[in-house]
Structure 1
Amino acid sequence: MDESCEVWLTPELLLTTAVSDPSDFAIQIQAADGTPVPNPISTPWLDQPLTVTVTQLSSGNACWTTVTAHDALKPTLVACPALEVACDVVPDTLPFPQAVDNCDGEPAVTLELIQTLQPDICAGTVELVRVFSATDFSGNVSDTCQQLIRVLYPPLPIFPADVSWTCETYQADPQVVEPAASGEVQVHAGGYCPYTVSWSDETVAQCGNTFRILRTWTVMDWCSGQVITSGLNGTDNTQLIKIVDNTPPQITPPAFELVADQQGANGCVSQGFVPPAVVTDCQQGVSIQVFTPVGELIYANGVDGSAGGQVPPPGLPLGTHPITWLAIDACGNVAAQTVEVEVHDLTPPVAVCDAVTEVTLSQDGTAHVPAAAFDDGSHDDCCIDHFEARRLTDACGDSSSVAFGPDVVFCCADATAGMQTVVVRVYDCDGNFNDCMALVEVTDKMLPVVHSCPADTTITCDYYFDALDAPLQTGDLTVLLPFGFPDVEDNCLTGVAGATFSVDVDNCGAGTIERSWYITDPSGNGPVVCAQTIYVEHVSDFVVEFPADYVGQCGDTLP
């Protein structure tokens, strides 16, 4: 195979006789399985037996032979440049030189040996020689090349800077104080380097559970026998690692309400229990104080507010009040949180009703009674706000009377229906309520009032005998209606019953008719009397005419 990993088969190469005209010959190449092989032969057909047939075109004569293409060219190492490396570099890990070959795209490069020329780093450098060879896939081996390696004396180390961690970070991962997280010395060690590294810690407690670590790094230069205390960039071999707490505690106040449970000088108050807040901090010993408008809590544990406490005397009145939590950790970090807390009255009042209440109807036949009128000493630990009442049944045609309202209405129907039951609801100032029942006796004490009676009047005996006598004989009083009716007013009376009458008229048509009304309302108020006299006069307005004188004969009939 040539430099391009190809070989061109020609008649001259294949035939044993001289060839005068190469163009008179055709060459056919086949693999062992009969696959046609192009000419020139290339890498895919390397080292494979191929059958080659040569045919003379002019005569048609042909012959064949077996051909195997081989690569006899060895690979070449491109270059082995000298290298300067750090003292902690392992020579075997350095990059190998590159090799090229006519057929193999990646000849194998082999490190044959490493030879030490100058082994002492304390002299300034260590010198090594690496010897390489390359082999292609046909087994051809290149010439060797030698690479000079100069191992340099290391520079001064760089010591880690001081570092601070919060106590929250340290509690989450205590390994943060280790060199992997807090910093290591940047130094060349191992290999041919003359440095060894170690460290020691001194721990100093601070406030609470915070602390400091004084870490001393020891870098020994075995060439000089000295401990290196100053490094590059002005660093020194002492590192300060601090665990600090600069964060105030986190306060989460509880959700709660206070219930009025005491009677104070100006109403009910609460000296109830205030539950503890949730306080988080990286410190264990957090002092908690809780303040109210009437003073600091009386703590349940006798020390601080971590377990909650009672509102101190005189207590908190009804309403909204600020409660403040103050938390101080062991490092003096302070946090405060204030919430508004509502003091409620959850105890309903004691409702006390009159056993029996008498209600008198007014002039319009009704009585509007305020709900508070039925109270007989209702009381509450805090305060009474208002009263409402309702009827148990409706007797007045008003369906709203059976719903609670500021007053109750009674009517004339109640005055004759016996005792009425009223439900009284007592509300305190926080909306709590309680009920009691009262019996109500509704009375009507107003007499009917007669504004006018029919006036006395006079009729003739003719009118009496023509229009009144016969009906009155049968008790028909309607004939007297034209003579008037009393004008009567009463709060519960809806009409006036018929009058009584008496007739005293002689045969001559002279006399009187007496009409009387005795008015009593449904509650029995009365009677109120109204009377009328109808005078019947005898009238003599007739004329007597006597007949004329008469002279007749004996035997005449008198006219």
Structure 2
Amino acid sequence: MLWTDFMGKVRKIPIALFCVGLLSTGSINLLQANESTTSPVLVCDDQINVSLNENCEAVISVEMVLEGESSIPGFDPSNYDIDIEGAASNIISEVGIFTVTITERNPPFTPPLNSCWGHILVEDKLPPQIDPNSCDCPENNTDPDCVLPLLCDELAEILDGNINVPMPVVVENCTDITTTFRDEIFDNGNCSETVVKRIWIYTDGGGNKVESCPFYYRIIPITVNNNVVGPKNEVYLDCGVGTTPQDIYNFFDAKYRDENPCDNGSGICDPNSHYYDADYVEAYEDAVHAYALMFSFPSIHGLPLINHICNTATTYTDVVIPICSSEPECSDNAKIIREWKIYDWCNSIVEPIVFTQVIKASDNTPPNIYVKDFEVSVDPWGCGGTVYFPDPIHLTDNCSSFVRYEVTSAPGLPGIDVQYDPIKGWFVEDLPTGLYQFFYHAYDCCDNVTSAGVYVRVIDGTPPVAITKQDIVVTLIPSPGHDSIEGLTKIFAESVDNGSFDGCGPVRLEIRRDNNNCGGYNGNLTYNNDGHSHDDPFDDDNGRFVTFCCNDLVENGVDADGDGVADYAQIKVWLRVWDDGDGDGYFGTVGDNYSEVWSFIRLEDKSRPTIICPPDATIRCDADENNLHDVGQATAYGACGPMAVDYVDIATDMTSCNIGTITRKWFVVNYPDEFCYQYIIKTGDYSGPPIIYFPNDTIVDCTEEINAVPTWIAGECDQLGYSVQRDTFYFEEGACFKIINYWQVIDWCVYDPNDAVHGAGIWSDIQVVKIIDNIAPTIDGCQDAVFDADDKQDLDSDGIVCENNMVMLTNSATDNGDCASNWLKWTVQVDLYGDWNIDYIFSSTAPPGSTYYLP
């Protein structure tokens, strides 16, 4: 025989060696051995077969495994160790194939130690044992324990093994038992006894079988009077649950399981759990069934009766009476009077058994209601809030859609009147700030009630009412004594406020501007440094005021009158009004509220300017008091810088020598009421009479100018002046005309009009000016003229007809030269008859009324 690679080394071994120590018959297919030069050859059986004893044990010895141990000199099994894979010792207590190894011990052997190995097939060859005293249902027995509590139509269940029946007592030494049976039925009809003959068959894990003695089980007809159990007289269901017997069974089945869970988390009812207990589960299911059955069906031996079962017939009738409410939504609530009747078909003379149930399918479960705490704010006009209670977040009933609710105040809150309005719902008016508890009460069709408390916090969440004044006019204020600092002005929040208020308490005012033209005023654009919107950490004015400056007029000014000067500027300001909403005594904290409103400020410069007069001045009498470089000039400053000034001398207390005091009134242009006074003192000394030079007499051509005037040499403060009176004489002494100038020079420092007798301070002189014209005028023309003597009619009645009374002679002359004049003197001489005798002389110098006057 050759060994395989799986078994070990390959070599030939005498066949006689294999026959030593075999424990079981059969051929040996495979051998193994380990070889050593210092130890005897060890040979183990390839496989030995071992059967477990009645205690499910098998003791494995060295001799059982080794082959040819008798040929080993001095063999002693105690010199070898036995190791069984999967076993703690040499005792095996379960069926299977095990690997066993035999190893030399040290001592007496020395290393290397020799060993060999093989297999053990452990089997259970003992069949299960039936207790002969457990055949409790022999043939023709009258033992009531062998009467099955079954109905005729449940025979299939016992045949399927689903109903527990008396069974033999079986003992198995080692493995699990598989139980089967073999039945023979003796059916004698519904009104007679039925017998089931059963042989129980038990098979263990090794396939060993044993059959029991016959068991005879009897199923007897139903005895109605004695065996039927009626359902409970009164049954209370939740509305919406079906009212058929099966519906009632299902309802109480679920109710029991809900109130009494099978598994408390230990896994005892979980078939997949290590802690699963089938007996416990079976008992639990029996309890569930018994509980549900007693409310739903008449029963016998725990089995429900309905319709035709074996020798019985079961019927019921219902009378339905509505309960709770007549609302259509409440139709699921009803009272049912149910009458059961059970008939015995095998005993027709027996009256049926009657059971009456009153089934109240009403809403026994209060509705579900869920509400949440909420906050409301006070009204804007007071410190009380109107609380409108919202509909519940969740409001349902297990039976119907008809659920109503009402709201009440919590006990111990007197004076709180919860009202109802079909449109507004439930509400409370004028509830002061604070925390209050109210209760929602939900009612279903059957007036089951569930109450849920809700806390309502009334807070001051309403911002205050912000009111501002409109058309506020403010003027700039100058900085007296600081002509380099422009005027400023401030508007405080209280000046803009027009009665802002909060219903719950005082308010705080803050103000800011919409823009800032005034550099250096960080708080103008922000309220304060509280950290809210439009606040600034560097704003330290606490929102009390805003500042305006002259640059506002420059940047935003309106020139209403067109004079080039801004008359006003419209500047927008914001008023923020805080309340103490959280009542912590501080404004601007988390629970506080604010409102904002704006207004326009009309900024004008209506300030009165300041004028500063120059110091009084002393000048010489001949100095010019209007030379401001000498006497000084006033300065004036308004709110926005220097302003124009002017002056008028309102009093002059001077001597005629220009010595004395001038009172000068300086004033601000356009502000005549803003003025001051300066006194100018003029001084000087008298230096004697002046030297006067009058113009000399002169003869001039008419083309020469006559512009000579008196001149003089006088002191610095002499006040000299001259005057002249002229007389003109024509044709005097052969001249064209002559002018007599009567000159007078007066020194007003000396001359006294009231003392004219002494003549001090006045000088006179006469000047003669002759104007001569040496060029005669020229007669333009002298032409001869002939006239007709044609007075034949003697029109003038003088008796002379050889005459002409209409003769008119005219002529013109021109005065030429540098002294020409339009005034000419005419003389016309008439020589009648050409005899060189002058008969008539006409002249412009004749008397005007004369016949010979020439106009």
Query: Normalization by structure 1: what TM-score?
Result: 0.49
Query: Normalization by structure 2: what TM-score?
Result: 0.36
More relative contact order, 1 or 2 (CA 8 Å, 6+ apart) = 1
